[in-house]
Amino acid sequence: MSKVVIITGKAGTGKTTVANILRKYGFYVLDVDSLAHSLLQNFKDDIIREFGNEVLSSDGIIDRKKLGEVVFKDPQKISKLERILHPTLEKRVKEMVEDREGDIFIDVAIPKKLSLYAIADFTIVVTSPQELVEERLRKKGWPEEKIKAVIGWQREECPEGRYYLVPNIGTFEELERKILSILKMEGLLDGKD
């Protein structure tokens, strides 16, 4: 029986690192953020109507960086963008899960807003202390104002159903061991290298 597993956590906690560990062991990971980015152009007219031409690149397509600069400063603008994107994004994720044979891991920051807990067997929630999160985001080259804005609007989601809290406060190897331990408990490592 195939399993659907959510991987979630705030920016800078190590959610993407966990997704990469899973890929390393041959698991299929659906990156919802990348999927959302690929859908942006489909909503170009709605996005321009809501946020103006300042979100366009010189060649007339939605510039994710410019859009991010506009919406991350204002939680109301984030909500407006979510109203534009989320119905289609939720539908597309659920279709991809249905079409997938075998286990699927969904790398997603906001599972509750996309109503994904209902389709998951369990959730892996990656956590880290705020100081460590800020340090990681600085290392990624995020400007201080973006770090403060994102940390300010990201809310702690209370996961629904079965979940594992995975503190990411040590080395990559420690994080990998924690993830492998969960996979073994869930019977997901059979036949994996």
Domains annotated for the chain, with CATH where assigned, are 4-184 (3.40.50.300)
User: 15: closest CA among 27, 40, 33?
Assistant: 33
Rounded Cα distance between 187 and 131, Å, is: 34
* pLDDT value at 88 more than 90: yes
Q: What is the pLDDT of residues 22-47, one digit of tens each?
A: 999 999 999 999 999 889 989 999 99
- pLDDT of 157: 66
Report the predicted TM-score, pTM, of the whole model to 2 decimal places: 0.88
Q: Is 102 labeled as ligand-binding?
A: no
C-alpha distances in angstroms, 58 versus 37, 53, 66, 180? 18, 10, 11, 45
Q: How many helices (H) and strands (E) does the chain have?
A: 8, 5
Q: Is 17 labeled as ligand-binding?
A: yes
- The 8 Å CB, 24+ separation contacts for 173-182 are 175/14, 175/17, 175/18, 175/21, 176/21, 179/18, 179/21, 179/22, 179/124, 180/21, 180/25, 182/124
- pLDDT of 190: 67
Q: Is 12 labeled as ligand-binding?
A: yes
* pLDDT value at 134 more than 90: no
Compute the average pLDDT of residues 131-144. 84
Specify the DSSP element, H or E, that contains 117. Answer: none
Q: Which residue has the higher pLDDT, 172 or 71?
A: 172
CA 74 to the chain's CA centroid: 20
Q: Is 16 labeled as ligand-binding?
A: yes
In sequence order, what are the residues at sequence separation of 6 or more whose Cβ sits closer than 8 angstroms to the Cβ of residue 118? 160
- On whether the CB atoms of residues 5 and 126 are closer than 8 A, the answer is no
Enter the tokens of residue 69.
């600069």
Compute the average pLDDT of residues 126-147. 84
What average pLDDT does the chain have?
88
Residue with tokens 């603008």: 77
User: 14: closest CA among 186, 158, 129, 185?
Assistant: 129
Q: Which residue has the higher pLDDT, 52 or 149?
A: 52
